[in-house]
Amino acid sequence: MDAVAGRNSLVEVIDPAPRQIPAPDAVKRALDVLKGAKRPLILLGKGAAYAQADADIRTLIEKSGIPYLPMSMAKGLLPDTHMQSAAAARSYVLAEADVVVLVGARLNWLLSHGKGKTWAQDKGAKQFIQIDISPTEIDSNVPIAAPLIGDIGSCVSALLAGIDSRWSKPPAEWTAAIAERKDKNLSKMAATLAQDVSPMNFHGALGAIRDVVKARPDAIVVNEGANTLDFARSIVDMYEPRKRLDCGTWGIMGIGMGFAIAAAVTTNKPVIAIEGDSAFGFSGMEVETICRYQLPVCVVIFNNNGIYKGTDVNPTGTKDPAPTVFVKNSRYELLMEAFGGKGVVATTPQELTHALQEAIATGKPTLINAVIDETAGTESGRITSLNPQKAAINK
Ligand SMILES: Cc1ncc(C[n+]2csc(CCOP(=O)(O)OP(=O)(O)O)c2C)c(N)n1
Ligand SMILES: [Mg+2]
């Protein structure tokens, strides 16, 4: 095809993400529910990050004084160190809140479907205000007291218009109780993160990465795995919107290298891919692509000799290894060297910090084989109780 004819055949998209203005009665209903709250909570989902209404979302949180929780890809919409973040008191606020504003977040399995123990359902129902672009998301799993349908930018600015000088901030008992729990949990966590053991545990290694990200808040963090995902999500603070990419709602392993490459190509920013060793294996050969295009990607492999733990025993009694166990002490760093990138073994937090800092400074494709104690992990998601054997015993 002739290139000019080709170009001329393209449609110029005038309004790719059209505003969808919420109905005024829906805005009023949402504000009325919110005004009746004694223990309100705002929950930011990745929809809130996609909407790119960062300033309005921040203003909503700060003007209303309501504590908030970010879902994993909404981290950094406000810096994770923000005073009003309740992330370090997550289980407390989910159980105790009486009105929850969902901003581009869905009550799916990541939020225990809005019911059960997580939400202290036995203490009575909570009221939900749900902002979403899609009306079909409303009332899935639990009834929504105040649905607010529209694009997030328009919905949030409509709410903001109602949060005026007569607005009263949430009761001090609520915010003080959260602050108290946050302080306690954060100081406990600080001690755990400072652990300097070798081989490293997840906390020691993630404590090192967390400090490097703090110094380079523009870096993009990619994350997949089981323990490697669960721990990194809560330990590595994010400071800027849309800098964290992970396996998302369905927890699909294998996205990491593709995400890292795409992020590096489109932003030219340093990319830190925090990868479980199993997770990495799903698309590990992309290190060749990273080297071919000389992308500023540093892959950090949390090498715990397998999935969850490297110490599992094959339950069938044959001499085959357990299905969750990998070849011990694998030399992942050599994979990167095979294509001309830099490979490093890190057995201490200091070695990890140093290698990561150097990777970011040079922008060279790097793979750090971070050696993690194979006994340090647990079965992911704390779903052991759902195992058929355990469930049968518990009956
Ligand atoms: C495509 C796909 N296949 C399988 C799974 C099941 N799965 C969940 S986590 C995981 C790997 C966990 O091991 P690893 O990445 O080494 O994490 P860690 O050892 O840190 O727990 C697997 C295979 C999945 N989520 N997606
Ligand atoms: Mg592993």
Q: Residue 166 falls within a domain, yes or no?
A: yes
Residue 342 belongs to some domain of the structure: yes
Please indicate, yes or no, if residue 315 is contained in any of the structural domains: yes
Regarding whether 362 and 307 lie in a shared domain, the answer is yes
Q: Which residue among 181, 205, 226 closes a domain?
A: 181
The total number of structural domains in the chain stands at 2
| Cβ 332 under 6 angstroms from ligand 1 | no
By most ligand atoms within 8 Å of CB, the mutation choice from 202, 249, 307 for ligand 1 is: 307
pLDDT at 388: 78
Q: Each residue of 138-168: pLDDT tens digit?
A: 999 999 999 999 999 999 999 999 999 999 9
Atom number in ligand 1 closest to CA 282: 1
Tokens representing residue 227 in the block: 């323990």
Query: 300 lies in a domain?
Result: yes
Atom of ligand 1 nearest to the CA of 280: 15
Q: Specify the residue with its C-alpha closest to ligand 1, atom 9.
A: 226
Work out the number of other CB atoms within 10 angstroms of the CB of residue 178: 23
Pick the ligand that lies closest to the CA of residue 227.
1
Q: Which of ligand 1's atoms lies nearest the C-alpha of 250?
A: 25
- Is 246 a pocket residue for ligand 1 (Cβ < 6 Å)? no
- 175 plus 203 within the same structural domain: no
**Res. 172 pLDDT band, cuts 50 70 90:** very high
Range of the domain at 168: 24-181
Using pLDDT thresholds of 50, 70 and 90, give the confidence band for residue 216: very high
> Sorting pLDDT into bands at 50, 70 and 90, what band is 123?
confident
Residues 38, 82 share a domain = yes
Q: What's this model's pTM, rounded to 2 decimal places?
A: 0.95
Q: Ligand 1: which of 109, 222, 233, 278 to mutate, judged by most atoms within 8 Å of the beta carbon? A: 278
pLDDT score, position 384: 66
Q: Find the DSSP H helices in the chain.
A: 3-8, 24-35, 46-50, 54-64, 90-96, 152-162, 172-193, 202-215, 227-235, 256-267, 277-281, 287-292, 332-337, 349-362, 388-394
- Give the end of a domain, one of 181, 205, 229: 181
C-beta separation of 213 from 219 below 8 A: yes
Same domain, 145 and 284: no
Residues 173 and 205 in one domain: no
C-alpha of residue 286 to centroid of ligand 2, in Å: 19
- Let me know if residue 14 belongs to a domain: no
Ligand nearest to the CA of 228: 1
> Which residue(s) pair with 222 in the sheet?
245, 273
Quick one: 205 and 354 in the same domain? yes
CB 67 within 8 A of CB 170: yes
Amino acid at 127: Q
- Asked whether residue 387 is domain-assigned, the answer is no
Same domain, 215 and 146: no
Ligand 1 centroid, distance to 302 Cα (angstroms)? 12
What percent of the chain shows pLDDT beyond 70?
98
Assess whether 322 and 375 both reside in one domain.
yes
Residue percentage of the chain with pLDDT more than 90: 91
pLDDT 10s digits, 350-379:
999 999 999 999 999 999 999 999 999 998
Residues 167 and 239 in one domain: no
The per-residue pLDDT for 125 is 80
Task: Find the CATH number of the domain harbouring 136.
Answer: 3.40.50.1220
Which ligand sits nearest to residue 225's alpha carbon?
1
Length of the chain: 395
Distance 333 CA to ligand 2 centre (A): 15
